[in-house]
């Protein structure tokens, strides 16, 4: 790891990777497998490999780093579709990126999610093409026969990797309600899925987590991809260093020749002989492109940035998973993580159990999951109306992406994700002392809502826009065609109630407290009000540097080889290249994108 920017800048790099996060470290590790190639990684945040107090590494302490120094602490602009609320948007500002902050969920979308990318005109990005890269990223530790029988932790070996850097496993012990989870969903006609990683996100299953089973520590990009190869003489990483922009030169067209970066107040240009690879994520990858003069003309002019490449879709096509948290009062005998965190004695006991034997509350994760299609939630006549309404949206927009989203209603996938866990997960409900709660999280998987991320405009009081100015994040939740998403989320509330009123899970439920039970005949309106007032992000932003497919730069930012349109020697490799949202937590897919992206970079240079 480099200690000074002067030393770092003196090296002749073949590749510079901007962002030492989930994708960036994976790309750097794979490229540096070639000893003839020199790779430099620039990360804005610190390394926590030797300084973490357990907030990152201890699984059950998930969420503690949100809002910490390891978080960029982004917020959205006020959202009219959320009654004017602004939402916090956590993103990792640490070596390992958001893989160090997330809740360790490891699943893949439906095979049709990725096939849709290919249908848009991005060859090589369908399910069958991506599967080898999913497998290459992970080492799955299968549960014992006793574990499978007791917890219904099934899996299919051919869909789980055995030699990859990221360690994945079923958790050792589940929370008390999980014993009722599968049977309850089965009673409602939701079948148990033998392996959610096998190309279908439908049904009820147990979430696999990015946890190393022997040490019971989080497996994330820094210890998984970087640490094992940190001694390579051709791999250099510098932390706490901010990239200001990509350096572009005119050589029979624009060519990326390096980056300008700042470390400890010192600003230097760092050269790349072959390519600059931006892996800064769906918020900052478009920000860096725009600051470099690549973007929409009106955005760049308003920010006082000279335009080099007119690329109208930089920062556009932002998609996210929207989430609500329905709160139920449960039997007082059910203890939750909330109780432990708020009680010094219980926290100390949890710490002792974890450090002594890798057991106890800090090893328990929320893993009771179900992905349901609307056909399992509403009657056929209502589904037909919904499908027709989705078709009308596609006719109005004429957008190929919208047509593919609308197809989900004719060929059902897991359109709404449910996760049940003890404890109060809602920022909009205050727990009453002496009462116990459980939360049903509900996440919309395939939204029509589409927004943007852009650098801000100049003002009289702010005459220069730089990397230090936080980008304007405007997801446009539930606006325009996104109003349809609000309706689907409100319909999904029916299933949340049905699950919690069905035995055996209902045996532990006292009553619903958020949203409050409405007067007779007003429940549907209560659901819609709840969705508007309580929707938050599920922290899965994608699409802001999307693959353009058949329409090229008119519909995206990069081609199917992840090369930025209009610039040679510049690629984007992270979640921002995804043209359409997937039915899954995006972590595993981001690693697969990095694996495939690095393979393509090597292939292209061999050619």
Instruction: Flag whether 181 is marked binding.
Output: no
- Enter the tokens of residue 180: 């009722």
Find the catalytic residue in 178, 263, 321, 585. Answer: 585
Instruction: Flag whether 243 is marked binding.
Output: yes
Torsion angle of C-alpha atoms 422, 423, 429, 430, degrees rounded to 10:
140
- The reply to whether 585 belongs to the active site is yes
**CB 13 within 8 Å of CB 273:** yes
The candidate with the shortest Cα–Cα distance to 166, out of 233, 117, 235, 102, is 102
What element of type H or E holds 42? strand 39-42
| Euclidean distance between CA atoms 409 and 387, whole angstroms | 6
| Euclidean distance between CA atoms 548 and 289, whole angstroms | 16
The candidate with the shortest Cα–Cα distance to 527, out of 484, 499, 496, is 496
| Euclidean distance between CA atoms 327 and 62, whole angstroms | 20
The candidate with the shortest Cα–Cα distance to 420, out of 162, 181, 586, 245, is 181
Residue 320 C-alpha from the chain's centroid: 9
| Euclidean distance between CA atoms 36 and 606, whole angstroms | 13
Cis amide bond preceding 73, omega within 30: no
**CB 575 within 8 Å of CB 91:** no
Instruction: Flag whether 539 is marked binding.
Output: yes
Beta strands per DSSP E along 332-454: 368-372, 416-422, 436-444, 452-454
- The reply to whether 462 belongs to the active site is no
Residues 6 or more apart whose CB falls under 8 angstroms from that of 156 comprise 194, 195, 197, 198
Interhelix angle 483-500/523-534, rounded to 10 degrees, is 110
Other residues' Cβ atoms within 10 Å of the Cβ of residue 5: 21
List active site positions: 540, 585
Q: Which residues are annotated as a binding site for FAD?
A: 94, 98, 243, 539-540
């Amino acid at each position: 790891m480099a200690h000074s920017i002067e030393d770092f800048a003196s090296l002749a790099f073949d590749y510079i990777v901007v962002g030492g996060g989930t994708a960036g470290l994976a790309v750097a590790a794979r490229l540096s497998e070639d000893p003839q190639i020199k790779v430099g990684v620039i990360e804005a945040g610190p390394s926590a490999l030797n300084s973490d107090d357990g907030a990152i590494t201890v699984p059950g302490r998930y969420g503690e780093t949100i809002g910490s120094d390891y978080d960029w602490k982004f917020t959205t602009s006020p959202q009219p579709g959320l009654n004017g609320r602004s939402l916090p948007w956590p993103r990792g500002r640490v070596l390992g990126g958001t893989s160090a902050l997330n809740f360790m969920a490891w699943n893949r979308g439906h095979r049709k999610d990725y096939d849709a990318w290919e249908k848009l005109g991005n060859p090589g990005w369908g399910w069958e093409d991506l599967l080898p890269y999913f497998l290459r990223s992970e080492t799955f530790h299968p549960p014992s026969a006793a574990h499978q029988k007791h917890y219904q932790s099934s899996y299919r070996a051919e869909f789980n990797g055995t030699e990859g850097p990221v360690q994945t496993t079923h958790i050792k012990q589940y929370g008390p309600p999980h014993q009722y989870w599968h049977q309850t969903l089965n009673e409602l006609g939701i079948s148990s899925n033998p392996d959610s990683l096998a190309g279908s996100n439908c049904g009820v299953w147990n979430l696999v987590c990015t946890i190393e089973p022997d040490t019971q520590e989080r497996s994330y990009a820094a210890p998984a991809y970087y640490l094992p190869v940190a001694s390579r003489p051709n791999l250099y990483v510098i932390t706490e260093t901010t990239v200001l922009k990509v350096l572009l030169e005119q050589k029979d067209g624009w060519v990326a020749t390096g980056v300008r970066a700042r470390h400890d107040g010192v600003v230097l240009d760092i050269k790349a002989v072959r390519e600059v690879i931006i892996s800064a994520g769906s918020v900052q990858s478009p920000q860096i492109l725009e600051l470099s003069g690549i973007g929409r003309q009106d955005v760049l002019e308003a920010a006082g940035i000279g335009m080099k490449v007119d690329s109208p879709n930089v920062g556009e096509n932002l998609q996210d998973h929207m989430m609500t948290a329905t709160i139920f009062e449960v039997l007082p005998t059910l203890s939750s993580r909330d109780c432990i965190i708020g009680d010094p004695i219980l926290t100390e006991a949890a710490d002792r159990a974890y450090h002594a034997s890798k057991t106890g509350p800090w090893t328990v994760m929320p893993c009771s999951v179900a992905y349901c299609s609307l056909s399992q939630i509403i009657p056929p006549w209502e589904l037909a109306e919904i499908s027709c309404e989705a078709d009308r949206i596609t006719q109005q927009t004429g957008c190929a992406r919208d047509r593919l989203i609308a197809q989900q209603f004719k060929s059902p996938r897991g359109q709404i994700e449910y996760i049940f866990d003890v404890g109060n997960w809602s920022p909009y409900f205050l727990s009453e002392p002496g009462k116990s709660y459980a939360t049903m999280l509900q996440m919309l998987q395939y939204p029509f809502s589409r927004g943007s991320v852009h650098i801000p405009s100049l003002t009289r009081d702010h005459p220069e826009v730089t990397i230090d100015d936080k980008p304007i994040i405007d997801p446009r939740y539930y606006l325009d065609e996104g109003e349809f998403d609000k309706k689907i989320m409100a319909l999904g509330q029916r299933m949340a109630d049905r699950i919690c009123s069905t035995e055996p899970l209902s045996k532990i439920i006292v009553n619903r407290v958020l949203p409050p039970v409405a007067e007779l005949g007003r429940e549907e309106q209560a659901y819609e009000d709840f969705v508007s007032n309580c929707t938050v992000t599920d922290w899965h932003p994608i699409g802001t540097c999307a693959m353009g497919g058949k329409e090229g730069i008119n519909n995206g930012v990069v081609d199917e080889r992840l090369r930025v349109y209009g610039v040679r020697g510049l690629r984007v490799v992270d979640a921002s290249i995804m043209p359409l949202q997937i039915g899954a937590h995006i972590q595993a897919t981001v690693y697969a994108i990095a694996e495939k992206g690095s393979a393509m970079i090597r292939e292209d240079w061999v050619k």
